[in-house]
Amino acid sequence: MIDEPLKRLSGTEYDRIFGRLDAEFDFRPDTQAFPGITEPKPSITWSLDRLRDDPGDLKLDRLVDAVQDGLVKCSRPGESLWILNWNHTCYRLRPDLPATDMFLPVVVEGRSRKGWPLSPYPDGDYFIFLAEDLRFGTFGHPWEHSLCVLGAELLEAVQDDVQQVLQRVLRRDGVPER
């Protein structure tokens, strides 16, 4: 357990966490073969295409709010979230501690909670948010332009709001929608 709100991961931690991600979800980075993970049961993957023509990014802000609020709601006191950006700096976040702006980048896609270094929206790379025990999280795929929400408790917390914003489901439990 960490006692600071946000911590950059070392190279060793990065390797260990991506090793766990690969072992649990068979992470397959690719620009043309989708999905990028073996989507677990339960999970829902939505298309992000509805956000492309969003004047003022209102839908994007609603999506980011819903997902980040759900991640906080599902996190237990003292529990950290992994905030992963493949091949870039990654973080461990304690959502129950007061935020700082220490690591915030200059530009954050979508409305982000204070102290969160990334948004769940995959802006050019894989953005992955996971509970430390991998029981819930999100997987943003930049080339499929999709967001997979996984885990029963996170789905329960965000499904209605995400469905209202994104509308088009690509897969449920890894099975394509018809």
Angle at 80 between CA 148 and CA 35, to 5 degrees: 20
Amino acid at 178: R
In this prediction, residue 107 carries a pLDDT of 38
Rounded to 5 degrees, what are φ and ψ at 46?
-105, 150
What pTM was computed for the model? 0.91
Residue 23's SS3 state is helix
pLDDT value at residue 106: 35
Which helix (H) or strand (E) is 91 found in, with range?
strand 91-93
Count CB-CB contacts under 10 A for residue 75: 20
Sketch the domain layout of the chain as residue ranges.
6-28+36-176
**Measured between alpha carbons, how far is residue 3 from residues 93, 98, 99 in Å?**
10, 11, 12
Backbone angles phi, psi at 93, to 5 degrees: -120, 135
Q: Residue 99: its pLDDT value, please?
A: 67
- The span from the CA of 165 to the CA of 57, in Å, is 11
Write out residues in the chain with pLDDT < 50, as ranges.
102-111
Question: Residue 103's pLDDT is what?
Answer: 47
pLDDT on residue 101: 53
